[in-house]
Amino acid sequence: MKRLLYLTLVSALALAVVSCGRRGGETIRIGVVGPMTGDGAQYGEMIRMGASMMMDAVNEAGGIDGKMVELVFEDDKGEPKDAALVAQKLASDTTIVAVVGHFNSSCSKAGKPIYKQMKVIQLSPGSTNRDVCIGSDWTFRNVYRDDFQGYAIADYIKEKLGYTRVAVLYDNDDYGRGLKEFFTEKAEQLGLEIVREEAYNRDTQNFGPQLTNIRKEDPEIIFISGLYTQGAMIMTQARNLGMETQFIGGDGLMSADLIKNGGDAVEGAYITCPFIPEMAGEMGRKFVEDFTEKYGEPPDAWAALTFDAVGIIIETIKEVGCDRQAIRDHVASMTTKEKGYDGVSGLTIFDENGDCIKPMFVAIVEGGEFLPAQIQFN
Amino acid sequence: MEGADLFQQLVNGLTLGVVYALIAVGYTMVYGIIELINFAHGEIYMMAAFVACKLYNALGVPFMWAVALAILFAAFLGVVIEFVAYRPLRGSPRLVALISAIGVSLFLQNLAMIIWGARRQPMIETANAIPFLERTVTVSLPLIGEATFSSVQIIMLVTAAAIMIGLTMMIRYTKVGRAMRACAEDRVAAKLMGVSVNRTISATFAIGSAMGGVAGILVGLYYNQVYPMMGYMAGLKAFTAAVIGGIGNVAGAFMGGILLGVVEGLCGAYISSLWMDALAFAILILVLIYRPQGLLGERIPRST
């Protein structure tokens, strides 16, 4: 009896190990990982909704060759140490054919060596740190890089807004520090004066000391190189200190919670981002409509980019099947306009690193909404 | 270093300090009476902020009522925690109660995440804004310079001062206060003298927790943000403040809290904001090495 049980268990395990070529009616499993709880939970929620929407669309249309797509969601809490753990979990599960994630640059980097070793593709919908894709053939991303973004923000402040004195507040992690460094590099070239530079940690709540130091220098604009949670607090506390200074930030500030938590204090802030509903093409507008109807709130950039990232994986599986190596090779071959993926966030083409070039937009917070700013990049 | 700036930085540090002080008092009162570090104290602080936030935003309870109910809730929660998690363990080794405290802390954090979600939420939503709380005043003093206060900051400072005075009076002059001091000194003797030890301990938890609740609501208002993990770091810092001041000593806890807040504020301003936490805990280590009884604590040989 015991032996029988043992045999059953072993054969069940053996079956589980055989990947998506399993018997008909089985599902194709794709890992989706991001900060589902913790500080970046709002990003995680958008990632979950964007991914689910693509899955539902594919499954309603009959799946891939009759097989349904199943997303396996994991939570890295936005912390590298948790990211390494869930990366190990996803990568060791051979029924999972590809991973979309992580979101935070530090997390993508923490997962990178694990995905590389276990040979499974990692496609990040939101990690913008320059070095995310370097050093692994298995890591790709569906978003622009911070060197591009940092240069652009400096350029926008100096050339488009015409300011000359800027202060910088940055999150002391891979994303915040990286973006700030590229910004500084370009600012120096352009003759944009950085009057004060202040750092903070992710668990900082009190920005009084930094803001008081910045207030003394009286900058025309303050650049926040960090995430929306701290962004909302910084702007609120600046108003409490009687500061009227203009704010600008990168894609990390792009979240509905920035407005929810920051209220009036975030009005008028500029934010660079890879997707604005109003500026999306035909397909993008349809996506925004469907999404809003389905979830009762409009998608943000991360929902759109995740929707496309899952789309890229699904398109690839349709072409080459469920082999992990084949999936990677196919994504890596998407290097030309013809082979690229045309999604709601525009055309995605990868370069030899696994990076991709995407257009950048500037949003402004007005009346509690992200609207396209008057002046855009050409 | 300009004078004007120093004044503002001191004000910022002081605001932070009174919050640490209010939380630290709860730690220190409980420690004084049952020699337990109540690690769930930071979570009471968080729960009170959430309750006030939800009563006001979601249920439309008038703001002052929401605050009052949240403070009562904090007091009640403190008493319940003591009854459920500490009272059955009284008399067992101290480590056991400490582990129980950590368990309660984790339980409440996760409970809050299940009920309210892990996201940070505004304490006061824009739609329900209270204009008075958004006002700022700039105070200019000759020779010292000027500083901008928000009305929340002023409320924080005034509330803390009032509580500080009220609490000291209560401990010194009321019957409950006397009972607390008696229990802290010698629980057995107090019992022999007719003090109801259980009731006194419950009263201590209620008062300490209410104070933690006040701190939570004030911080929620100050940063306009509440989230389930907010009690964790605040609790650690307040614990540090209580130890610096001399754990078990109420005046010490206030002093420790304010000292810690001001040191952190100045560190953020003139050294680096990345070193604020490191500096706070470095002070804790130094105090533990060179003055383990704390700044205001006395070295008393324990009978038990």
Q: Position of tokens 């403070």?
A: B71
Q: What is the pLDDT of residue A6?
A: 64
Across the interface, whether the CB atoms of B224 and A368 are under 8 A apart is answered: no
Q: What is the pLDDT of residue A23?
A: 45
Q: Are B15 and B261 in contact (CB under 8 A)?
A: yes
Nearest residue of chain A to residue B153 (CA atoms): A240
Closest CA of chain A from B200, distance in Å: 36
Q: Which residues, 6+ apart, have CB-to-CB distance to A143 below 8 Å?
A: A124, A125, A126, A127, A128, A251, A274, A305, A356, A358
* Rounded (10°) CA dihedral A319, A325, A331, A333: -90
Q: Tell me what the mean pLDDT of segment B76-104 comes to.
A: 93
Judge whether residue A161 has pLDDT over 60.
Answer: yes
Name the E strands within A269-376. 270-273, 341-343, 346-348, 361-366, 369-372
- pLDDT level of residue B137 (50, 70, 90 thresholds): confident
Q: Are A98 and A324 in contact (CB under 8 A)?
A: yes
**Which DSSP state fits A274?**
S
Q: Tell me what the mean pLDDT of segment A7-36 comes to.
A: 66
Percent of chain B with pLDDT over 70: 96
Rounded-to-integer distance, Cα A224 and Cα A234, Å: 9
Q: Tell me what the mean pLDDT of segment B223-236 comes to.
A: 90
Q: Tell me what the mean pLDDT of segment A353-370 comes to.
A: 90
Judge whether residue A25 has pLDDT over 60.
Answer: no
- Taking only Cα atoms into account, the Rg of chain A, rounded to an integer number of angstroms, comes to 22
Q: What is the pLDDT of residue A376?
A: 87
Q: Are B193 and B182 in contact (CB under 8 A)?
A: yes
Chain A residues within an 8 Å CB radius of B216: none
Q: What is the pLDDT of residue A142?
A: 93
Q: Which residues, 6+ apart, have CB-to-CB distance to A192 below 8 Å?
A: A154, A157, A158, A163, A164, A166, A186
Q: Are B226 and B66 in contact (CB under 8 A)?
A: no
More confidently predicted of B57 and B137 = B57
Q: What are chain B's domains?
A: 3-290 (1.10.3470)
Q: Tell me what the mean pLDDT of segment A151-168 comes to.
A: 94
Across the interface, whether the CB atoms of B16 and A208 are under 8 A apart is answered: yes
Chain B residues within an 8 Å CB radius of A201: 273-274, 277
Q: Residues in chain A whose beta carbon is closer than 8 A to a beta carbon of chain B?
A: 37-39, 41-42, 172, 198-201, 203-206, 208-210, 212-213, 216, 229, 232-233, 236-237, 239-242, 257, 260-261, 263-264, 368
Q: What is the pLDDT of residue B136?
A: 82
Judge whether residue B42 has pLDDT over 70.
Answer: yes
Q: Which residues, 6+ apart, have CB-to-CB distance to A257 below 8 Å?
A: A42, A228, A229, A232, B119, B120
Chain A residues within an 8 Å CB radius of B218: none
Tokens of residue B233, six digits = 């770091």
Judge whether residue A69 has pLDDT over 90.
Answer: yes
Q: What is the pLDDT of residue B300?
A: 54
Nearest residue of chain B to residue A213 (CA atoms): B269
Q: What is the pLDDT of residue A84?
A: 96
Judge whether residue A86 has pLDDT over 90.
Answer: yes
* Rounded (10°) CA dihedral A294, A295, A298, A304: -80
Judge whether residue A375 has pLDDT over 70.
Answer: yes
Q: Are B258 and B17 in contact (CB under 8 A)?
A: yes
* Rounded (10°) CA dihedral B103, B180, B212, B242: -80
Rounded-to-integer distance, Cα A344 and Cα A281, Å: 7
Tally of CB atoms within 10 A around A257: 23
Rounded-to-integer distance, Cα B250 and Cα B38, Å: 15
Q: What is the pLDDT of residue A11?
A: 55
Judge whether residue A133 has pLDDT over 90.
Answer: yes
- Does A146-273 match A2-143+282-348 at the fold level? yes
A interface mutation test: which of B5, B7, B8, B125 has the most A CBs within 10 A?
Answer: B8
- pLDDT level of residue B146 (50, 70, 90 thresholds): confident
What tens digit of pLDDT does each residue of A197-249 get? 999 988 888 898 999 999 989 999 999 999 998 999 999 999 988 899 999 99
- pLDDT level of residue A276 (50, 70, 90 thresholds): confident
Burial B49-65 (b: 16+ CB within 10 A, else e): bbbbbbbbbeeebebee
- pLDDT level of residue B303 (50, 70, 90 thresholds): very low
CATH class of the region A146-273: alpha beta
Pairing of strands B136-141, B145-150: antiparallel
Which of A257-266, A342-351, B139-148, B186-195 has the least mean pLDDT?
B139-148
Across the interface, whether the CB atoms of A236 and B224 are under 8 A apart is answered: yes
Rounded-to-integer distance, Cα A83 and Cα A76, Å: 5
Closest CA of chain A from B224, distance in Å: 7
Tokens of residue B48, six digits = 């009170």
More confidently predicted of B63 and B297 = B63
- pLDDT level of residue B14 (50, 70, 90 thresholds): very high
Rounded-to-integer distance, Cα B161 and Cα A86, Å: 48
How many residue contacts between A and B have a Cβ separation below 8 Å?
Answer: 106
* Rounded (10°) CA dihedral A113, A230, A183, B279: -80
Q: Tell me what the mean pLDDT of segment B121-149 comes to.
A: 82
Q: Single out the residue of A295, A278, A269 nearest to residue A48, CA to CA.
A: A295
How confident is the prediction for chain A on average, in pLDDT?
89
Could you state, in order of their start, the residue ranges of all structural domains in chain A? 2-143+282-348, 146-273
More confidently predicted of B301 and A362 = A362
Rounded-to-integer distance, Cα B135 and Cα B147, Å: 14
Q: Tell me what the mean pLDDT of segment B31-52 comes to.
A: 93
Nearest residue of chain A to residue B151 (CA atoms): A240
Q: Tell me what the mean pLDDT of segment A326-338 comes to.
A: 92
Across the interface, whether the CB atoms of B148 and A200 are under 8 A apart is answered: no
- pLDDT level of residue B147 (50, 70, 90 thresholds): confident
- pLDDT level of residue A42 (50, 70, 90 thresholds): confident
Q: What is the pLDDT of residue B144?
A: 75
Q: What is the pLDDT of residue B119?
A: 80
Tally of CB atoms within 10 A around A53: 22
Q: What is the pLDDT of residue A19?
A: 47
Chain B residues within an 8 Å CB radius of A204: 273, 276
What tens digit of pLDDT does each residue of A94-106 get? 999 999 989 999 9
Sheet-wide strand order for A122-124: A68-75, A27-34, A96-100, A122-124, A139-141
What tens digit of pLDDT does each residue of B175-217 get? 999 999 898 888 889 999 888 999 999 999 999 999 999 999 9
Judge whether residue A1 has pLDDT over 70.
Answer: no
- pLDDT level of residue A17 (50, 70, 90 thresholds): very low
**Which DSSP state fits B121?**
B
Tally of CB atoms within 10 A around A298: 14
How confident is the prediction for chain B on average, in pLDDT?
89
What tens digit of pLDDT does each residue of B250-261 get? 889 999 999 999
Is the peptide bond preceding residue A102 cis, with omega within 30 degrees of 0?
yes
Q: Who among B148, B265, B272 is closest to A241 (CB)? A: B148
Architecture of the domain whose range is A2-143+282-348: 3-Layer(aba) Sandwich (3.40)
Backbone angles phi, psi at B79, to 5 degrees: -65, -40
- Say whether residue B89 is in contact with chain A using an 8 A CB cutoff: no
